[in-house]
A and B are shown apart, each in its own frame.
Chain A
């Protein structure tokens, strides 16, 4: 399963905090930095490439239909 945005961001935050704690060896830090930059890229892509989702309505027949809020209201 693809990593969720929330998980990616949490991981990213954790890495930044760890690096800021200063308790990381340089080699390890560089690996973590690389990983973090990949997470940044992943998050950016997920944010920017995500297509706008349409609003939907779950009918009583358990059918998911597009829901145009302006038309309905």
Chain B
């Protein structure tokens, strides 16, 4: 019959179930995952899924096993389960039948860690610009850690070895357990108030639970608020706690923190030697350069031949003197010529001519005077008539019997007017 090669659904599901049930490995599995779609059925059975980032599996825990649970399962919880894998033929699905289940502590811690880290990062507690620089040459270092154990020994011996002139003060603290976080916070505050250059906060290696105090928010905030620079040193290289993110500097180990906190005396001596060498080299170079400049100045032509400096002046001077005497001679020559010209003048050569001239002028004047002398007229036969020394020019000026004086060219007489004829 053609039908015989077709199986019923229940038949194939039963077959699959029998395959799973007979697999030795699937009879006992240990799984870890996160609970989701959790349902607490009225019958007391628990139905849920277990998942990781990329996959999921259905899970059921029957009430008789669920009774032994020490916690209340819920969505999002990370759990470790023990059980077997089988199929549920009615649904055609396979699932894990959980027999034992416990909280995956690490998972929970990890979630808390991630949540806190995200929150504090958003708040800016890890910002690089909030980080203080670590003093290069501290004189006092505070150490917040347990007073016993490898961490304190490593830190102190490393500092003593590298930089013995540094004072180390321990602020003893619990570093694990419930009391650790508040204790660490308190000791950080004390160290800050005490006044040290750098604080090292940390502990040696341990499980994530051992280191947990350093993932607590109060510790993170105490580190952030501390005014003194803090170097964190929690556990080993691979352990990154919240404290490490907040600290101004994170050291991989306590020994590493001590190395970061102090230089070695040798380093400083090297630095000093190096500075000294640079100083000496610099000042020598500077002085050498000045010497070279000085030498080249000294070899300068003028300085080497100081006479050259005034030789030029001398030349100029003598040419000036020469010019001057030339000019002077020219002037003298001209004056002499002028003088000679004067000596040859007519007047100086014929000084008597001057007198001759004056005499003829004089004679001329005398003659002229002679010509104009009124008395000269008398020589020609004219005479002058005067009354009381007053010259009479008309007969009208005379009266009868007036006494008149008549002056002739030679001699004079007195007469009396006898007749007047005013003609």
Which A residues have a C-beta under 8 Å from some C-beta of B? 4-6, 9, 12-13, 15-16, 19-20, 22, 24, 26, 29-30, 33, 36-37, 40, 43-44, 46-47, 50-53, 55-59, 64, 67, 69-70, 72-73
Contacts and interface: CB of A to CB of B under 8 A. Distances in A.
B282 A19 contact: yes
B212 interface: no
A9 to B, nearest CB: 7
Contacts of A43: 268, 272
B38 interface: no
Contacts of A9: 136-137, 268, 271-272
Contacts of A55: 156, 160, 168-170
B107 interface: no
A44 to B, nearest CB: 6
A64 B152 CA distance: 17
B169 A57 contact: yes
A47 B269 contact: yes
B148 interface: yes
A53 B160 CA distance: 8
B170 A56 contact: yes
Interface of B: 135-137, 139, 147-150, 152-153, 156-157, 160, 164-172, 190-191, 194, 265, 268-269, 271-272, 275-276, 278-279, 282-283, 286-287, 290
Contacts of B167: 53, 56
A26 B286 contact: yes
A52 B282 contact: no
Given A56-B169, A57-B172, A40 B286 contact: no
Given A58-B169, A70-B153, 14 more contacts: A6-B135, A9-B136, A9-B271, A12-B272, A19-B286, A20-B282, A22-B286, A43-B272, A53-B168, A57-B171, A58-B171, A58-B190, A69-B152, A73-B149
B98 to A, nearest CB: 47
A12 B139 CA distance: 19
30 contacts: A4-B137, A4-B139, A5-B137, A5-B139, A6-B135, A6-B137, A9-B137, A9-B268, A16-B275, A16-B279, A16-B282, A26-B290, A29-B282, A33-B282, A33-B283, A36-B279, A37-B276, A50-B164, A51-B165, A53-B164, A53-B166, A53-B168, A55-B169, A56-B167, A57-B169, A58-B170, A58-B171, A59-B172, A69-B156, A70-B153
Contacts of B278: 16, 20
Given A19-B282, A40-B276, A47-B268, A57 B147 contact: yes
Contacts, number: 104
Given A19-B282, A19-B283, A72 B265 contact: no
A30 B280 CA distance: 11
Contacts of A59: 172
Given A53-B168, A57-B147, A40 B275 contact: yes
A53 B166 CA distance: 6
Contacts of B283: 19, 29-30, 33
B119 to A, nearest CB: 33
Contacts of A47: 165, 265, 268-269, 272
Contacts of A16: 275, 278-279, 282
B168 A19 contact: no
A46 B290 CA distance: 35
A19 B283 CA distance: 8
Contacts of B136: 6, 9
A12 B275 contact: yes
A15 B160 CA distance: 31
Contacts of B171: 57-58
Nearest to B286: A29
Contact of B275 (A13, A46, A56): A13
A55 B268 CA distance: 22
Contacts of A24: 286
Contact of A19 (B147, B170, B279): B279
A73 B137 CA distance: 28
B312 to A, nearest CB: 33
Nearest to A9: B137
A30 B286 CA distance: 10
A53 B279 contact: no
A50 B268 CA distance: 14
Nearest to A44: B272
Given A26-B286, A69-B153, A56 B279 contact: no
A30 B272 CA distance: 19
